[in-house]
A and B are shown apart, each in its own frame.
Chain A
Amino acid sequence: MPTPDPPLDPAERRRIVSDSIAVSVATGAYGISFGAIGVSSGLDVLQTCALSLLVFTGASQFAFVGVIAAGGAPLLGAASGLLLGVRNTLYGLRLAPLLDWHGARRTAAAHLVIDESTAMSVTRDSTAAARVGFLTTGLGVFSLWNLSTLIGALAGDALGDPRDYGLDSAVGGAFLALLWPRLNTPTARLTAILAAVLATVLVPLTPAGIPVLAAGVVALGLGLRGRDGTGADS
C-alpha cells in the first residue's frame, strides 16, 4: 500500500493494532444484544444478520428494529436508521484527507466508516497510522459484530417470549448507552429532553415511526437557533 509518509514505526504499529483489537472485541460483543433484540422485534434470523452485514452501523440498526418492534412500517424504520446514519457522513468528511484513499479503495473503505473506526484513526498524525487504526478497527468490528449478531439472533430465537427476559427493556437501555456520551453540552441535553417529550406526546396521535422522525425537527430547530451565537453553547 503506497503512502507518502515515512514507514510506520513497528512499535507504534503494534500499539495501534492492539488498541484497535481491544475496541473491536468490546464493540463486537454487543452485537449479541443486537441479534437477540432483532429477532425479538419481529425480524427473522436472516433479516437480523442482513442488517449487521449490509447496514453495519449500530445505532441505525437498533433504530430500525426499534420501529419494527413498535409496529411501525419498515420504510419508517429505514428512515429513522438513515437519520442516525448522517453522522457517518461527517466522519467521512474528517477521514477523507487523512486516509487519502481514492477510487475502488475509497468505495470499499466507506462501508467500514463507523463510530469506532473513526475514533481509532481520526487522532493519528500520519496517513499510515490512520490507515492501520481504521482498517484494524473497521475489519475487527465488522467480523465480530456479524459473528455475535448471528449468535445473539440464534439464541434469542430459542429463548421464547422476549419480555420474560426483559429484552424489550434492553432496547431502551442500549439507546440510552449510545446517547449518554453525547449529552455533554446544555444544548444537547435540552435537545434530548424536548425530543423525548415530543415523541412521547406523539405516540398516541401518530402511526409508529413518526414520533421518532418528528424529533429530528427538534435537532433542526435548536441547530438553527444556535446560528446567531445565542444558542449552541450558552
Chain B
Amino acid sequence: MIWLGVLACAVGCYALKVAGLSVPASVLERPLVQRIADLLPVALLAALIAVQVFSGDGRSLTVDARLAGLGAAVVALLLRAPFLVVVVASALTAALIRLAG
C-alpha cells in the first residue's frame, strides 16, 4: 500500500509542476490565489513539525527528547546554520538526551 501512496504522490506532484508551466499567467496574478499559495506551505510545515514532535504511540501526545531536538534546531537556525547542520544538531541533541536518560 505504501507503493500506492508513492505513485499517487509522484503523479500528483508532477501534474502540479506541469500545470504551472502550462496555465495562463493571469491565474497567478489574482492576489487571493497568491496569498493562499504562499501560506499553504507555512501552515503545512508548522503542522508537520507539531505532529512530528508531539505525537506519541497511537493517538497520544508526548513530550520527550524530540522537543529538545527541535530547540536545538531553533538555535542552529538563529545562528544561520545550513540545512544539514540544523538537521544534525536536532538529531544529535535528541540522541544524547536519550543516551543520558
Contacts and interface: CB of A to CB of B under 8 A. Distances in A.
B44 A83 contact: yes
Nearest to A63: B48
| Secondary structure call for the A interface | helix
A7 interface: no
Contacts, number: 330
B41 to A, nearest CB: 6
Q: How large is the interface on A (under 10, 10 to 19, 20 to 34, 35 or more residues)?
A: 35 or more
A227 B72 CA distance: 37
Q: Which of A55, A90, A175, A214 has the most CB of B within 10 A?
A: A175
Contacts of B74: 176
Interface stretch (A9-17, A124-132, A139-147, A202-210): A202-210
Given A33-B87, A96-B20, A168-B66, A77 B44 contact: no
Interface of A: 26-27, 29-30, 32-33, 42-43, 47, 50-51, 54-57, 59-60, 62-64, 66, 68-71, 73-75, 77-78, 80-97, 99, 101, 106-107, 109-111, 113, 163-180, 182-183, 187-188, 191-200, 203-208, 211-212, 214-216, 218-220, 222-224, 226-227, 232
